[in-house]
Chain A
């Protein structure tokens, strides 16, 4: 069974938060949703879990008890302990007390939260709290796991641990859709969707995304068009649309270059 969105458009007032978006999630697949602030990442995830009603299009999702969701906020109850949080969510998802206990033991051990099981959620560090949120989202072994920026604000070590948990969930058969602002993380996904102002710029596996660049990216110390340039380390990268003669040294773009170039191309009205 596959899940996803078909031609979904979401509007908030006069603003198009998501435009004609189609996404298919296969079991065991990890899909990364990438984009800047206000790109529509959270709206897409919220549409998928049923928290936002699309203006048009259709959403294909499992029943609520088969969806795991980690919202952009902590997602856990601050005044409940780690164990109580998992207990509450597990029981709400219809697991028996013994099933919840067994699953909680397993997840907490994997997440390295074993020793913190009796600590209140508010006493956890940011990274630990995100991991707890992840454990809560996966406690009922969902078919569809939706994670809103699970690693934002998380230290590098915890990010690695979170990724291990995501991989394990996917290996267990869950379709995973996660938004992220980290492109190195996005490159690890099986499929990538890049959003910009609610529009889909790219939707492809990372290697295909890298090959989908429209125009040319050069490296330069003195950009000709500063509005089409971005700083990378001590130099600038500059995007040149097709038909224009680039000034600078042409480079093989990485994912960051491709994402920025795709965004500039859309705003310049250049078709991918």
Chain B
């Protein structure tokens, strides 16, 4: 029995990958990424006394901008665009400090440091004044729900066609491969869009999460992100023979996203090596967009990096996955052999 089990395991590459990959992943994540303490925050110091104030700040504040000519509006703008986490307005005493409340752990650490500085400073936490965890989590959870539907539900829906043998039926039916793919994916796209709307509305209604930004920018980010996760779902279906395998692979792709996207552990607190993994994950960028639009009202031009990264991922993953799926449909048509009163000929 034991020998039989080992033989089966040896041939089940996915399970072996999970047995090897999961402990390593968990070790790396909890060793390098599982850290709630933020050691420094990017800081701008503006106003007439910017140079003096900047020189007096503790090391916790990583001053990236010092400008005596900039005003409070500029400082607000820099925080809103997430150019910096914190902005000091050095125009008198006490110094007003604008803190980005949408970057929860950084904001909590900043407020703690500012409290120790006494009456010299006044903290003004923007976008999440009470530092509510739910305000930060709900925009990220929207991404998680989209990932769940796009990856797991889509892959199971597609792989069901394969296990039931109906994919074979579709392959020979007079339906264009692109129509089959579109017909299979569109319902999941719409379902995910519905779920996203529902969770967003409920998040705003039940938890009072603000929606400060442009709905169209949010919808654009969500649509691009959906293409990425639907692409992952389609890809998983092409490498899985049954629903169990699809769930296994989807789980392996989802877990790193949940743990490393910045949803739970702050990106700023992760070791540099692990942070690079986080920057390769689509949920990281959607979380930047959803938190940016909902909490900070971030304008579209400040979100060019996450939108651009997601667009590149969508093009690569979705296109690649669809081409793989198409390969399973009507191979004779794929190779350009007309099948119809015809002659599908191959030469020796």
- Bound pair (A, B): yes
Enumerate chain A interface residues (CB-CB to B < 8 A).
Answer: 1, 49-67, 69, 71-78, 89, 92-94, 136
Assembled-state Cα–Cα distance A61/B164 (Å)? 26
> In the assembled complex, how far is the CB of residue B58 from the closest CB belonging to chain A, in whole angstroms?
63
Assembled-state Cα–Cα distance A223/B275 (Å)? 74
Contacts of A49 in B (CB 8 A): 172
Contact present for B346 and A58 (CB under 8 Å): yes
Question: Size band of the B side of the interface?
Answer: 20 to 34
Asked if B344 is at the interface of the complex by the 8 Å CB criterion, the answer is yes
Asked if B10 is at the interface of the complex by the 8 Å CB criterion, the answer is no
Contacts of B165 in A (CB 8 A): 71-75
Knowing A50-B333, A73-B164, A73-B166, the reply to whether A64 touches B346 (Cβ < 8 A) is: no
Enumerate chain B interface residues (CB-CB to A < 8 A).
Answer: 164-166, 168-169, 171-175, 330-333, 335, 337, 339-348
Indicate which residue in B173, B331, B343 contacts A64 across the interface (CB closer than 8 Å).
B173
Closest 8 CB pairs of A and B: A73-B165, A63-B340, A65-B174, A50-B332, A58-B345, A50-B339, A64-B174, A59-B344
> In the assembled complex, how far is the CB of residue A144 from the closest CB belonging to chain B, in whole angstroms?
11
Assembled-state Cα–Cα distance A50/B345 (Å)? 11
Contact present for A51 and B172 (CB under 8 Å): yes
> Interface majority SS on A: helix, strand, loop or mixed?
loop
Indicate which residue in A55, A60, A65 contacts B346 across the interface (CB closer than 8 Å).
A55
Nearest residue, chain A, Cβ from B338: A63
Contacts of B341 in A (CB 8 A): 1, 62-63
Contact present for B344 and A50 (CB under 8 Å): yes
Max chain A Cβ within 10 angstroms of own Cβ: one of B164, B340, B344: B344
**12 pairs, CB–CB < 8 Å, chain A vs chain B:** A55-B346, A56-B347, A59-B343, A59-B344, A60-B343, A61-B344, A62-B340, A64-B172, A65-B174, A69-B169, A69-B172, A75-B166
> In the assembled complex, how far is the CB of residue A169 from the closest CB belonging to chain B, in whole angstroms?
17
Nearest residue, chain B, Cβ from A63: B340
Contact present for A53 and B343 (CB under 8 Å): no
Contacts of B164 in A (CB 8 A): 73-74, 77-78
Knowing A71-B168, A92-B174, the reply to whether A53 touches B337 (Cβ < 8 A) is: yes
> In the assembled complex, how far is the CB of residue A72 from the closest CB belonging to chain B, in whole angstroms?
7
Contacts of B345 in A (CB 8 A): 57-59
Contact present for A53 and B174 (CB under 8 Å): no
Contacts of B348 in A (CB 8 A): 56
Contact present for A52 and B331 (CB under 8 Å): yes
